[in-house]
Structure 1
Amino acid sequence: MIEQDKQGTTAAEAAAALPKAYEPQAVEAKWYRFWEEGGYFKPRPNLSRKPFVISMPPPNVTGVLHLGHVVTATTEDIMVRYHRMQGDETLWIPGSDHAGIATQTVVERTLAKEGTDRHQLGREAFVERIWQWVHEYKDRIQNQHRRIGASCDWSRERFTLDEGLSKAVREVFVRLYDEGLLYRGERIINWCPFCMSALSDLEVNHIDTPGKLTYVRYPLKPLPGQSEGETEYISVATTRPETILGDTGVAVNPHDPRYANIIGRHAILPMVGREIPIIGDEAVDASFGTGAVKVTPFHDPVDFEIGQRHQLPQIQVIGFDAKMTDQAGPYAGQDRYEARKNLIADLEKLGLIIKSEDYVVPLGICDRSNTPIEPLISKQWFVKMTPLATPALAAVKYGQLKIVPERFNKTYTEWLENIHDWCISRQLWWGHRIPVWYCDTCGSMTVSREDATACSHCGSEQIHQDEDVLDTWFSSALWPFSTLGWPEVTPDVLRYYPNSVMETGYDIIFFWVSRMVMTGIHFLGTVPFSTVYLHGLVRDAKGEKMSKSKNNVVDPLIIMDKYGTDALRFTLTTSSTPGNDSKLVEERIIGNRNFANKIWNASRFVLMTTAEFDGGVPAIDELTPQTLADRWLLHRFELLTKSVTRLIEEFQFGEAGRQINEFFWSDYCDWYVEIAKVQMQGDEAAQRSTVGILRAVLDQSMRLLHPFMPFVTEEVWQHLYRTSVPDPEQWPASALIIASWPQYNEAFIDEEAEQQFSLVQQVITRIRDARNQMNVEPSRRISAIMVVGEGLTMFEAQTPLIEFLARTEKPQLHTTLEQKPEQAMSLLAESVEVYLPLAGLLDIGKELERLDKEILQSAQELERLQSKLSNENFVARAKPDVVEKEREKLAAQEERSSKLKARHDELAQIK
């Protein structure tokens, strides 16, 4: 019966040697190294099934990973581990992004501390300096992903500046140019005066900022024959008075009756004296301000479009350095905000300021420098987006692309329906340099996949390359296929494109996801992935967004060191639902650390209790349940398997994790493991059946839980097979990471067992609650009289469980009972009546006296709290959190008083 390994150590001895406590730090690095070195992360060919492929959203090489990265990695790892266990050929491609402006900014800050800058270094030396930074932080990010447990194929790791990916970038640039979808022109862009570069929309944060809405009068040009004393005005409202100097028009809505008679006239621009036309345009919101708006085509995106429609001049009064230009007249050279202050003062002197009111301005801020951006017209490279957006819209409309949760279809659709041409050039030195060469001889452009050595038009060798680099998002838009070797027709492209899922945060659905969809369809003819899964943001315990300024940023590495990686992963997963933000509450992390300990302790008990029994770990389908508890547990496990599998397929990872937790903690540990202690006292057949179920359900539970908590489950699973089946050749798989996923077996579905055992559970729970209520010592057994009706036979078989779990004497079972026992507490579990005689266990008289004292004390405390909260001075002057705490105390005391009175009434009736 006792198995022995090749070194002469018995399974029982091996089980007894298990550590008493679960130590994540001793386990996590060991198993990750085992998985990686064993090649478990590489795809295992299976041509009978469609491969499952994910390309990791590449984190920027600008520092350490944050909680958002942990959510991404955990969610993707759950999917990857699940599909790997399903037998799918699974590929998870890791990588990182060169993050043009972000990386250049942090390195420039480092140089500034050293007393130098990129211009002193020169472009080549500066780029080399950035590469040094990248090598350091790319390795750091990779190792942090290992800490998280990301089971990606590191042999396929990609970087957006890799040679192969750079080749893909040039290929796309040249093709788009040849197709007429990429052009160089002057359009309005987001400009950062600090970074001195154009920015993408994603690199601009719009922050609601207190500001002013200033109402200014513009004199109208007199009509022919109109006397000078009859000056008319048109009033406009603006949040940026300094741009008045660049106005080239005033616009009103053509359907606004207030201004119907002045469209076509001219206004005189204050401080400048320039005549500007009054035009009608549908873009004007008649309800904003006065209904008339100033038009500054050079400094506002909407005004730029209005100016294009009405052929208005474009006058630049704010320079790329955020200072006023010569076109600003007397304000030239002033900072834009200084000019604002001075201009308002001058307009007030002229009596042209009507009023100024508080107004919240959605101020555009550079994501990297925190500098207010300036909308400016600049000559840049643009991609025409409408031709690319149309098929991307159709992909969602006709079901080729599924977005989870579905409500983000609207966000995706609205973005693409209102899309503008994309500015892709950046005035940086770090990134993919634009593959365009300008001829100094004939002035023509050469657009080339390879570095040009001569002008393609006149043959002159006097050429120079465009100084700018491409927007980071240009290269990341190609991520699902550039990482597979495209534009070469590689085996990876043929096998793994399109990907299966793109998982990312909902905040970049239009910036990144839509661009991947557009380029994938355009260059490979199909959507780059069939599903987009969007997770929410992780907020602090109060629900506030984490930021350094609030000092509420949580370092995931510290959390993992303190509580273990599995605890953090499981907390982030089970605290969220698709597309919704979640709060990171430390108590939940502690609870899931305790869950890992519960898994370990239960597993250690099972391994030690069953170690002397041979037979290994049986396949769950081979089990033959002997008892009601056996039937119930297998029934519950099969329901769990079916539900969890469905939930994972539906991307409901949080609910799947919660259900596994509930089953293992409650059904398996709190009930069946305790029941097993009784059943192991039976004959050998009962013992073997119990051992088989304990082992098999532990095995299968670890499989279900593995995608969520990979480290503790692998550790338990390895010990389970090592102690039960010492010979590894007899194991079903060499590691849990590739063990087969549990399959639903309808043969174990047993509704009768569910109903009957649920009734037994209720009886035990009611008795336990009554014991606690009466403060009966845990070791003391009490009498129990039960009226079970037609369930007599079933309850007779379950009396050993009731005795053990509820700490009773052997229950007295009756089908009916003519007279209720005196001085007994009555309980009801569905149709079953339970009576607990109190004689000898409780002095009811003394207990009533004690309760009277507690009720009096509670009433006095209630009176004190009510008096305090009815004091208007206290409520008005105390801090809100102090008042709220007093209210919470009052509510708790009211609940306590109610329970004491209920207990008193119940005992009084018994007496």
Structure 2
Amino acid sequence: MSKELAKTYNPGEVEDRIYDFWLKGGYFHAEPDPKKEPYTIVMPPPNITGQLHMGHAMDNTLQDILIRWRRMQGRDTLWVPGTDHASIATEAKIVEAMRKEGITKEQIGREEFLKRAWAWKEKFGGRIEQQLRKLGVSCDWDRKRFTMDEGCSKAVREVFVRLYEKDLIYRGERIINWCPHCKTTISDAEVEFVEKDGSFWHLRYPFKDGSGYLELATTRPETMLGDTAVAVHPDDERYKDIVGKTLILPLVGREIPVVADAYVEQDFGTGVVKITPAHDPNDFEVGRRHNLPVINVMNEDGSINENGGKYAGLSGLEARKQIVQELDEQGFLVRVEPIQHNVGTCYRCHSTIEPRVSKQWFVKMEPLAKPAIAAVREKKVRLIPERMDKIYFNWMENIKDWCISRQLWWGHRIPAWYCEDCGEMTVARTAPDTCPKCGGAHLHQDPDTLDTWFSSALWPFSTLGWPEKTAELAHYYPTNTLVTGYDIIFFWVARMIFSGIEQMGEVPFDTVLFHGLIRDSQGRKMSKSLGNGIDPLEVVDSYGADALRFTLITGISPGNDTRYSEERVQASRNFANKIWNASRFILMNIEGKAVPDALPQALSMEDKWILHAFNRLAGEINDNLEKFEFGIAAQKLHDFLWEQFCDWYIEIAKIRLNGSDEEAAQQVRQVLVWVMNRTLALLHPFMPYITEEIWQTLPHTGEALMVALYPQYDTSLTFVQDAEKMEAIMAAVRGVRNRRAEMNVEPSRKTKLYIASDKADTFRAGEEIFKRLAYATGIETAAAFDLSGAVTIVTPDAKIFIQMDELVDKEAERKRLTKELETAQKGYQNAQAKLQNEKFMSKAPEKVVAGVRANAEKLKAHIELIASSLDALK
């Protein structure tokens, strides 16, 4: 490790070296220690196809802050990293790569395709890990997991079989969400509803007996090819005499009945709806109640199949166009009504979802959801912010059975085997050699794989060795804090809760912290289509990981989105430079001196003030982190270091450091080292690299800052009276400096200060501070002063007088101010003339008018300030 600091902070030179130091020290690694209270986080596993984006950077920075803080508190911390196999996304990437080679997965077969998939995983799966290391994350890389590694795969099979044996997993024919682009089912949680322009096609369905027709409307006329009934409400007086009659399905000629079902809304449209059991979930349920035929008219790619008659082979949109045209030509189309409606789309590829009937595997959700709802209601799991409770309850209380089978090759294969001799299905943990029913040896495994989220739902316990009874599982489960984005509360969070309760008998974590999205400077969501995405690694290369981390957490609050801008990163970089320069100042002043990392016996007023301020900060930062108030904590650390420590204490410390009293100088050196060391410790979880690098150069005890004790509030460091005295002096200094700045007095022009206060002793104790920071030649204190022509500054504890003649050439200053006043008045008059000009006000853009109005207000305030200064010169 370096024992001196370079002139300027170079993150590129520091970060890799520091990270390597941490790794070699084994500081990230955890082993179960029954003597210590555990603190566990499981990393939301990024996709193996992915690379670090701002969302990952935010998510992992928050986790790293928590894990570093708890580690420094002495907890037995474990942060489990890992990656997700991401079935749909990964398979799509591999299929696209093969397409460029001119081959398909069907051509090479499943076994060869899976070889390619594993090779892809080996090539790209570790990319995001390396990127996370650059960010400084301190997870236990020795324990990294993959959702398809041997242990996780065993857990998946075990859970599937257990749920099947409890009749909580079943295979059945249901309406599912089908993505014609990904060519697989997706769950309800993976459907995104997008508002799109559409139409209501109002159609006539004629009665078979020629007695007339029923009018109804549909948004998807192509699905009429699969209609098997028309429904009305049983209480609808308009239609009570036609229930049971037969209609002729236009274009198709199929006879379909009129049925009565409470599903129909009497007051919506004509109160008549077409029933297509194979292509609508509500129609499917109506069909089951009335034993209607189920006719699937769509292929996997969304085109019309052989059940669509002459329309077979057409795409859905082509079929729609032709069907509408023929309905119009044959007199069945009444009118077309333009509408806007929500259309379900695939959350990955954004293709329109086609509801279609299919035989799939499902998890029964109602019995699993009930205890998961109770866990959050009873606060066994806290959702932060609390408003997420309502969202969680609404989804869980209305949850449908979860379709878990996917028509993909990459993923956990469903552990079900079918006997080709007798048709028996066997669900087992390992592949059976023979059929348990007939003894036949001709078995084949279900070709489908499981939804990626099925394995992710087991993450908090599968990564700790379940179903084996490991020491890690016993010690670190349940985990503590899950940090994730609010957008996957249904995909992942809810499923982990019910899976943990079902398999472990305990909730998987006690708290879920939801953070918001990172938006661009205009508040837009970052996306490829907008071209506004920011590569975190480019930011790290330019400004350093600490600057990016500090930017991502400054100003944030749980559950709320935040905006990213390069200006904010620059401000964080400047903060890092401020800390660096302050540390170099301390090092220069302790060079060649034996300065222990301990407080001196004697403390001055300003020493007690900075210790009191630091102590209060330590208490507040711990409290903020307990409440997940990262943004507030970051701002407090920034303000303490920049303002109180650097701008005030270091400047005051120079008085003793440059004085002739060596004992006083040594005293302040110790306080500087002590406070800086511990403030670096407070800041370390937020900005780990720069704090570790500086700490290693200062006098300290221990191997590394990241395993040093985190500062806590200490009653022995409470100095209320001294802090109040110092604050009174500081308020007076600020007042003097501000007034001198208003009068444009050069710092080199010094004068005596007259301080009227009943706290004379306090101000006399700060005389050297006034000399250095308020440009005073000295101070005089009394209960009151009668000074003509003096400038007065008022603070809560004093009145400070400055003799103007000693500071300002009145005549020259009067001329300068008069000229400045004339310029300001002319600008104000021009602005007012524009605001009173009707032509300008009616034609100028609102933004321009607002700018002129704001400028006028600013000039008015400036005129008043100049006039006040001129009055003071009389």
Q: TM-score range by the shorter chain?
A: over 0.9
Cα distance per residue 1:720-751 (max 9 Å; x no partner): 13xxxxxxxxx532000100011211222233
Question: Does 2:792 align with 1:826?
Answer: yes
Equivalent of residue 899 in structure 1, options 837, 840, 862 = 862
Specify whether residues 342 and 525 from structure 1 end up closer, same or farther in structure 2 by C-alpha distance, changes over 3 A only. same
Residue 264 of structure 1: CA displacement? 5.7
Specify whether residues 678 and 896 from structure 1 end up closer, same or farther in structure 2 by C-alpha distance, changes over 3 A only. farther
- 8 Å CA contact 1:825, 1:910 repeated in 2: no
Equivalent of residue 478 in structure 2, options 498, 502, 519 = 498
Equivalent of residue 244 in structure 1, options 224, 231, 234 = 224
- 8 Å CA contact 2:791, 2:872 repeated in 1: no
Residue 265 of structure 1: CA displacement? 5.5
Q: Give the alignment of 1:329-478 within 5 angstroms.
A: 329-478=309-458
What SS does the corresponding residue of 1:809 show, helix, strand or coil? Answer: strand
Residue 155 of structure 1: CA displacement? 0.7
Specify whether residues 260 and 541 from structure 1 end up closer, same or farther in structure 2 by C-alpha distance, changes over 3 A only. farther
Cα distance per residue 1:655-714 (max 9 Å; x no partner): 111211111111111111111112332633432331121111101111111111100110
Residue 640 of structure 1: CA displacement? 0.9
- 8 Å CA contact 2:832, 2:856 repeated in 1: no
Residue 158 of structure 1: CA displacement? 0.5
Equivalent-residue separation in structure 2 for 1:787 and 1:548 (angstroms): 65
Residue 167 of structure 1: CA displacement? 1.0
**Match of 1:792?**
760
Question: Does 2:672 align with 1:694?
Answer: yes
Equivalent-residue separation in structure 2 for 1:113 and 1:202 (angstroms): 32
What SS does the corresponding residue of 1:207 show, helix, strand or coil? Answer: strand
Specify the code of the residue in structure 2 equivalent to 1:670.
Answer: D
Question: Does 2:682 align with 1:704?
Answer: yes
- 8 Å CA contact 1:862, 1:894 repeated in 2: no
Specify whether residues 435 and 896 from structure 1 end up closer, same or farther in structure 2 by C-alpha distance, changes over 3 A only. same
Question: Does 2:632 align with 1:645?
Answer: no
Cα distance per residue 1:446-489 (max 9 Å; x no partner): 22211222222222111111111111111111111111111111
Question: Does 2:130 align with 1:143?
Answer: yes
Deviates more, 1:435-444 or 1:113-122: 113-122
**Match of 2:118?**
131
**Match of 2:691?**
713
- 8 Å CA contact 1:322, 1:336 repeated in 2: yes
Equivalent-residue separation in structure 1 for 2:231 and 2:734 (angstroms): 75
Deviates more, 1:208-217 or 1:530-539: 208-217
Residue 630 of structure 1: CA displacement? 1.6
- 8 Å CA contact 1:868, 1:874 repeated in 2: no
**Match of 1:726?**
none
- 8 Å CA contact 2:764, 2:781 repeated in 1: yes
Cα distance per residue 1:623-665 (max 9 Å; x no partner): 5562222222111111111111111112222211121111111
What SS does the corresponding residue of 1:22 show, helix, strand or coil? Answer: coil
Equivalent-residue separation in structure 2 for 1:539 and 1:309 (angstroms): 48
Gaps of 5+ in 1: 6-13, 223-227, 722-730
Specify whether residues 46 and 465 from structure 1 end up closer, same or farther in structure 2 by C-alpha distance, changes over 3 A only. closer
**Match of 2:650?**
673
Equivalent-residue separation in structure 1 for 2:356 and 2:837 (angstroms): 60
Question: Does 2:201 align with 1:235?
Answer: no
How many residues end up aligned between the 2 structures?
Answer: 870
What SS does the corresponding residue of 2:371 show, helix, strand or coil? Answer: helix
Equivalent-residue separation in structure 1 for 2:801 and 2:416 (angstroms): 90
Residue 207 of structure 1: CA displacement? 2.3
**Match of 1:225?**
none
Specify the code of the residue in structure 1 equivalent to 2:104.
Answer: D
What SS does the corresponding residue of 1:49 show, helix, strand or coil? Answer: coil
Residue 287 of structure 1: CA displacement? 5.8
Q: Give the alignment of 1:481-560 within 5 angstroms.
A: 481-560=461-540
What SS does the corresponding residue of 1:821 show, helix, strand or coil? Answer: coil
Deviates more, 1:762-771 or 1:841-850: 841-850
**Match of 2:716?**
747
What SS does the corresponding residue of 2:777 show, helix, strand or coil? Answer: coil
Specify whether residues 718 and 268 from structure 1 end up closer, same or farther in structure 2 by C-alpha distance, changes over 3 A only. same
What SS does the corresponding residue of 2:628 show, helix, strand or coil? Answer: coil
What SS does the corresponding residue of 2:686 show, helix, strand or coil? Answer: coil
Cα distance per residue 1:285-319 (max 9 Å; x no partner): 55654554333221122322333334333222222
Equivalent-residue separation in structure 2 for 1:585 and 1:412 (angstroms): 32
Specify the code of the residue in structure 2 equivalent to 1:109.
Answer: E
Specify whether residues 892 and 45 from structure 1 end up closer, same or farther in structure 2 by C-alpha distance, changes over 3 A only. farther
Residue 844 of structure 1: CA displacement? 3.7
Q: Give the alignment of 1:804-819 within 5 angstroms.
A: 804-817=772-785, 819=786
What SS does the corresponding residue of 1:811 show, helix, strand or coil? Answer: strand
- 8 Å CA contact 1:43, 1:89 repeated in 2: yes
Equivalent of residue 36 in structure 1, options 23, 28, 51 = 23
**Match of 1:103?**
90
Equivalent-residue separation in structure 1 for 2:165 and 2:349 (angstroms): 36
Residue 442 of structure 1: CA displacement? 1.2
Equivalent-residue separation in structure 2 for 1:615 and 1:609 (angstroms): 10
Residue 97 of structure 1: CA displacement? 0.6
Equivalent-residue separation in structure 2 for 1:317 and 1:394 (angstroms): 42
TM-score (norm: length of structure 1): 0.91
Deviates more, 1:824-833 or 1:690-699: 824-833
Deviates more, 1:437-446 or 1:673-682: 673-682
Question: Does 2:640 align with 1:663?
Answer: yes
Equivalent-residue separation in structure 1 for 2:260 and 2:406 (angstroms): 35
TM-score (norm: length of structure 2): 0.95
Equivalent-residue separation in structure 2 for 1:346 and 1:568 (angstroms): 61
Question: Does 2:850 align with 1:887?
Answer: yes
- 8 Å CA contact 1:821, 1:835 repeated in 2: no
**Match of 1:18?**
5
Equivalent-residue separation in structure 2 for 1:558 and 1:889 (angstroms): 39
What SS does the corresponding residue of 1:810 show, helix, strand or coil? Answer: strand
Equivalent of residue 781 in structure 1, options 746, 750, 757 = 750
- 8 Å CA contact 1:111, 1:117 repeated in 2: yes
Deviates more, 1:393-402 or 1:181-190: 393-402
Equivalent-residue separation in structure 1 for 2:638 and 2:604 (angstroms): 24
Residue 220 of structure 1: CA displacement? 5.5
Cα distance per residue 1:750-777 (max 9 Å; x no partner): 3333333222222111222222222222
Gaps of 5+ in 2: none
Equivalent-residue separation in structure 1 for 2:507 and 2:817 (angstroms): 74
Specify whether residues 599 and 357 from structure 1 end up closer, same or farther in structure 2 by C-alpha distance, changes over 3 A only. farther
Specify whether residues 97 and 798 from structure 1 end up closer, same or farther in structure 2 by C-alpha distance, changes over 3 A only. same
- 8 Å CA contact 2:303, 2:315 repeated in 1: yes
Specify the code of the residue in structure 2 equivalent to 1:80.
Answer: I
Equivalent-residue separation in structure 2 for 1:717 and 1:267 (angstroms): 84
- 8 Å CA contact 1:439, 1:445 repeated in 2: yes
What SS does the corresponding residue of 1:871 show, helix, strand or coil? Answer: helix
Residue 232 of structure 1: CA displacement? 5.0
- 8 Å CA contact 1:380, 1:423 repeated in 2: yes
Cα distance per residue 1:542-586 (max 9 Å; x no partner): 111111001111111111111111111111112311111111122
Specify whether residues 763 and 456 from structure 1 end up closer, same or farther in structure 2 by C-alpha distance, changes over 3 A only. same
**Match of 2:701?**
732
- 8 Å CA contact 2:376, 2:382 repeated in 1: yes
**Match of 1:11?**
none
- 8 Å CA contact 1:184, 1:381 repeated in 2: yes
What SS does the corresponding residue of 1:784 show, helix, strand or coil? Answer: strand
Equivalent-residue separation in structure 1 for 2:221 and 2:369 (angstroms): 36
**Match of 2:36?**
49
Cα distance per residue 1:91-134 (max 9 Å; x no partner): 11110011111101011111111222212222222111111111
Deviates more, 1:682-691 or 1:256-265: 256-265
